Amino acid sequence: MIIIRKTLLAFTGLFICFFLIAHLGANFILLLPASKAHPLYNAYSSFLRNNFLVMIIAYVNYACIISHVILSVLITVKNRRSKGFTNQKNATLENSSWTSQNMGLLGTILLAFIVIHMANFWFKVKFSGEDHDLYLMVISLFSSPGYAAFYFLAMLPLGLHLAHGVESGFRSIGLYHNKFLRWIAKAGVAYAWFTAIGFAIIPLIIYFRQETL
């Protein structure tokens, strides 16, 4: 059972990684000059809402996020209850990093970030029943120093979680070959910091650009 859960945790995590890189690419539009970014970002927003395939991918992504959280809680509870927990923990502490020991803590911080993030945009767009100018919503949120700092700082736990998670995910789906894993570990770390730094610079640039709305 634990193997099945770990495999599902890995697949859901890897799907979220795929979503994140696409999401980052779309959000880079925000860094273009306002005259180009404004219509393009809103066109992206209406494409998200009107394309059937994209809507399916979005629902798969929500399911992956929810399942990833539930599976990680179930695996943690099971590990704590299992008799060999103390020995196992001592063994892993010797040869693993702070990040790998604290994936649950990092994941919890990210879950809090995602809930606040969804409340900032997704919830308003989906449930208010009005048409929204998504570009102006993002620019106005990031012109607040508190939100810009919050989004910037939240990308540190994201980078740490992904840097360990990608390698760990590939291990869990059965890729044990050492040479391949070493390559995956490096590619995972590069992906993690590219994604985290990419997201972190967006609120920073928008805040300091001080665009007049």
**Residue 14, amino acid:** L
Would you state the structure tokens that stand for residue 183, as one six-digit string? 């390559």
Nearer to ligand HEM, 103 or 125 (CB): 125
The closest of 69, 73, 61 to 15, measured between CA atoms, is 61
- The reply to whether 172 sits near ligand HEM by the rule CB under 6 A is no
- On the CB side of 27, how many CA atoms lie within 13 Å of its CA? 21
| Six-digit token string for 121 | 């945009």
Residue 3 exposed, middle or buried by CB count within 10 Å (0-12, 13-18, 19+): exposed
Residues 6+ apart with CB under 8 A from 187: 166
Q: Which of 151, 170, 191, 207 binds ligand HEM (CB under 6 A)?
A: 151
By CB under 6 A, tell whether 114 contacts ligand HEM.
yes
- 121 lies in the binding site for ligand HEM (CB under 6 A): yes
Rounded Cα–Cα distance for residues 100 and 40 (Å): 39
Which tokens hold the place of 66? 């929810």
Cβ proximity to ligand HEM: between 84 and 129 the closer is: 129
Nearest to 134 by CA among 41, 33, 14: 41
202 binds ligand HEM (CB under 6 A): yes
Per rule CB under 6 A, is residue 138 in the interface with ligand HEM? yes
> Minimum Å distance from CB 138 to ligand HEM?
5
Q: Which stretch binds ligand HEM (CB under 6 A): 2-10, 94-102, 176-184, 196-204?
A: 196-204
Determine which residue in the list 139, 192, 203, 207 makes contact with ligand HEM, applying CB under 6 A: 203
Could you give the CA distance from residue 185 to residue 172 in angstroms, rounded to a whole number? 13
Interface residue with ligand HEM among 5, 117, 171, 209 (CB under 6 A) is 117
Residue 180 near ligand HEM by CB under 6 A: no
Minimum separation from the CB atom of position 188 to ligand HEM (A): 16
- Find tokens 């509870």 and name the residue: 77
> Is residue 163 within 8 Å of 186, Cβ to Cβ?
no
Q: Is 48 in the site for ligand HEM (CB under 6 A)?
A: yes
Token couple for 184: 């995956």
Site for ligand HEM contains 136 (CB under 6 A): no
Residues that bind ligand HEM in the complex, under the rule CB under 6 A: 20, 23, 27, 45, 48, 58, 61, 110, 114, 117, 121-122, 125, 134, 138, 151, 158, 199, 202-203
